[in-house]
Amino acid sequence: MAGADVRKERLDRGIKVRTSGIYAISGGKEIGYLILPRLVLIAGLLLLPLVVTNPYWQRVISIVGIYALLALSFDFLTHYVGLVSLGGAFFVGVGGYLAALLNTKLGLSPLFSIPLATVGGGLFCTLAILPCLPLRGVYFSIVTLMYPLLAMRVIEALNIFGGTEGIMGVASFPNRWVEQYSLIVVLLLALFGLRRLVNTDLGLVFRAVKDNDQAVKASGINITHYKTLAVFISASLACLGGAYLVHIYMWAGISTLALDFSIIPIAATVIGGGGTLVGPVLGALILVPISELLRAFGTLRIVFYALILMAFIVFRSEGIMVYAQRKYHQFEKWVQV
Amino acid sequence: MSGPPLLEVQNISKAFGGIQALSGVSFNVHSRDIFGIIGPNGSGKTTLVNSITGFVRIDSGKVNFQGREISNLPPHKIADLGVTRTFQIMRPYYSLPAYKNLIIPLFSPRARRTGGWRGGGKLGDRDTVGIDILEEIGFERDSQVPYKLASTLPTGYLKRLELARCLALRPELILCDEVFSGLSMSEIASMLPLIERLQMEGITLIMIEHRLKELFRVANRVLVMNFGQKLIEGSPEEVMADPKVKEAYLGSEDLSDYV
Ligand SMILES: Nc1ncnc2c1ncn2[C@@H]1O[C@H](COP(=O)(O)OP(=O)(O)O)[C@@H](O)[C@H]1O
Ligand SMILES: [Mg+2]
């Protein structure tokens, strides 16, 4: 197509009259242009349970939802607060075990056990992480990596919460529609809630703690308060995922503390585009089904997984979402010279 | 000036490993002083600011503010008392527009309490208050400067933004670490009236400067640091006339090179 007398011309869309994120919107067409991607995402997620008919893949939808929550939790804490936690599985395990205990010991239905495990688990995780908050950078990451490993060994050694057997007989959801639609709605609420949060004044303080904590301290703000609050938000989201997980599998065990729950959300964030919040959700949507397909390869799965991840980092390190956003705001066309 | 001092620095020392950055420095700053601190590079001026504002822990000595000991309090608590500072290495939030930089200090407990600069005890809409502060400090609202990304602003504006961050807390005392360095003559000339206005409005300033001539125009007291020690303290005239000061400045016999 590109002959000697044509060249590729790139135009920014007219609407991009904006000053640092504030769009100058005039007219229905431009509003449509802005909300279209949002509608596609919402409609796409809501349609998923309807269009997927295979029972195996229906279960995968729920797993995608859980990993999307975990990836959101990671993206928020990493890219908006600057705390890189490698211990996501700890949050999942705490939320999972708590929901299982509330359900099997107190007889609370998922309607109550999930919200309670979300908030209660968030509080517990925050208290557990509190001593690490003064740690900077990689030290915080390494210590948080230890949390799920430690929790696993403690449960095994003390033989609490069913030990290696786990807690069985956790109630499931009434049917798959409740399971999937409640999860999708919760995910969308978390996504749009976080997107709103990071642009509020409180969100700016979070981001400032990440960019420049010295100036935040000099502004008379106790950064430990805000780090604590952010860890609570992030941990609660992951506990929510963990609570869903145990009610879906009707079982809580030490595998809810498995490394997968720490690593796959990070991979989803990298692929989807860190710092975009939507990206990690898309990343989970892509990565989790791939991971299921790769099950056929047994232990080689992780090799393929690693290769896919490396390819992404090498060829599209910004992540899908950052790339897509840029392309969406530009036209490219061939013009005669 | 009479009355009890606003800030008392008593015999403070600080070592980094083998380097004695401060040894036994004492001085008093009174309310509404413009207190200059000068001294060659590496003489401990920034460490002095860091020690007073809690960014480094002092090894010994004591700092009192309004009669209350503040030595080794965490930085946010010291800022909360109204002791604010600028950074020699500027630290704006580059990814935010200039006025959004002020959201962070305006979010602090002190700003909520005081209402921010000119707040009168009640904090209004943070965006509006931020833009008002910036306008007062020389960001021309008409030319949209407050809305520009901090990463696109020239040094002169970033220095003012550092000051604005302090003002947002409605401070009692501002410690300015070389706010004039990197600025042109005319930029400094346009900032001097601002400094004087802050003094008139009741703010006390400690100013670390290399530009002696400009500093001596506004300062009423000057402390000279050398090798982590207090060399001399006095009025600008006394300091200029002192032979030890001339010597510290590269052993130059003639301070007029600097003035
Ligand atoms: N955080 C630090 N760690 C180690 N040494 C430091 C630190 N801060 C300052 N110093 C040392 O302390 C001395 C005084 O530095 P500084 O206070 O920055 O001087 P000035 O601001 O007068 O140029 C220098 O020798 C410097 O290298
Ligand atoms: Mg210095």
Tens digit of each residue's pLDDT (9 = 90 or more) over A96-111: 999 999 999 999 999 9
Q: What are phi and psi of B10, to 5 degrees?
A: -120, 100
In contact, B224 and B243? CB cutoff 8 Å:
no
Taking only the tens place, the pLDDT of each residue in A59-89 is: 999 999 999 999 999 999 999 999 999 999 9
CATH number given to B86-171: 3.40.50.300
Q: At what angle do helices B155-167 and B126-136 cross, to 10 degrees?
A: 120
Residue B34: which H helix or E strand, with range? Answer: strand B34-38
Q: Find how far residue A66's CA is from the centre of its chain.
A: 8
The fraction of chain A above a pLDDT of 90, given in percent, is 72
Rounded to a whole number of angstroms, the distance between the first and last alpha carbons of chain B is 26
Closest Cα to residue B195, out of B2, B8, B35, B1? B35
| Ranges of chain B with pLDDT below 70 | 1-2, 250-259
Whole-number pLDDT of residue A15: 44
Minimal-distance CA residue of chain B relative to A204: B104
- Rounded to two decimals, the ipTM of the complex is 0.92
In the reported structure, the alpha carbon of residue B47 is separated from the centroid of ligand 1 by a whole-number distance in angstroms of 6
Torsion, CA B123, CA B125, CA B126, CA B131, rounded to 10? -110
Question: How deeply is A73 buried, as exposed, middle or buried, from its count of CB atoms within 10 A (0-12, 13-18, 19+)?
Answer: buried
Rounded to a whole number of angstroms, the distance between the first and last alpha carbons of chain A is 14
Quick one: which ligand is closest to B16's CA?
1
Dist CA A124 CA A117 (whole Å): 10
Q: Pick from B104, B149, B168: which is nearest to A20 by CB?
A: B149
Torsion, CA A305, CA A307, CA A308, CA A309, rounded to 10? 90
Closest Cα to residue B9, out of B29, B33, B38? B29
**Which residues in chain B have their CB less than 8 angstroms from residue A220's CB?**
76, 79-80, 84, 105, 108-111, 169
Residue A244, pLDDT > 70, answer yes
The fraction of chain A above a pLDDT of 70, given in percent, is 90
Dist CA A325 CA B3 (whole Å): 62
Whole-number pLDDT of residue A315: 81
In contact, B223 and B27? CB cutoff 8 Å:
yes
Which CATH fold topology does A6-336 show?
Answer: ABC transporter involved in vitamin B12 uptake, BtuC (1.10.3470)
Whole-number pLDDT of residue B95: 87
Dist CA A292 CA A300 (whole Å): 13
Dist CA A295 CA A283 (whole Å): 18
Is beta strand B83-85 parallel, antiparallel or unpaired with respect to B173-177?
parallel
**Contact (CB<8Å) A219/B168:** yes
In the reported structure, the alpha carbon of residue B13 is separated from the centroid of ligand 2 by a whole-number distance in angstroms of 16
The class (CATH top level) of B1-82+205-259 is: alpha beta
Whole-number pLDDT of residue A311: 86
B21 pocket-lining for ligand 1 (C-beta < 6 Å): yes
Torsion, CA B150, CA B153, CA B156, CA B159, rounded to 10? 10
Residue type at position B104: I
**Max alpha carbon distance in chain A (Å)?**
76
In the reported structure, the alpha carbon of residue B41 is separated from the centroid of ligand 2 by a whole-number distance in angstroms of 7
From B12, B14, B19, mutation site for ligand 1 pocket: most ligand atoms within 8 A of C-beta: B19
Enumerate the domain spans of chain B: 1-82+205-259, 86-171
In contact, B10 and B61? CB cutoff 8 Å:
yes
Question: How deeply is A32 buried, as exposed, middle or buried, from its count of CB atoms within 10 A (0-12, 13-18, 19+)?
Answer: exposed
Residue A14, pLDDT > 90, answer no
Residue A1, pLDDT > 50, answer no
Q: What are phi and psi of A254, to 5 degrees?
A: -65, -15
Closest Cα to residue B91, out of B215, B185, B177, B211? B177
Taking only the tens place, the pLDDT of each residue in B209-226 is: 988 888 999 999 999 999
Domains B1-82+205-259 and B86-171 share a fold: yes
Enumerate the domain spans of chain A: 6-336
- Which tokens hold the place of B156? 């002169």
In contact, B134 and B96? CB cutoff 8 Å:
no
Averaged confidence pLDDT in chain A: 90
DSSP characters over B131-184:
HHHHHHTT--TTTTGGGSBGGGS-HHHHHHHHHHHHHTT--SEEEEESSSTT--
Spatial neighbors of A131 by CB under 8 A, at least 6 apart, are: none
Taking only the tens place, the pLDDT of each residue in A291-306 is: 888 888 888 887 888 8
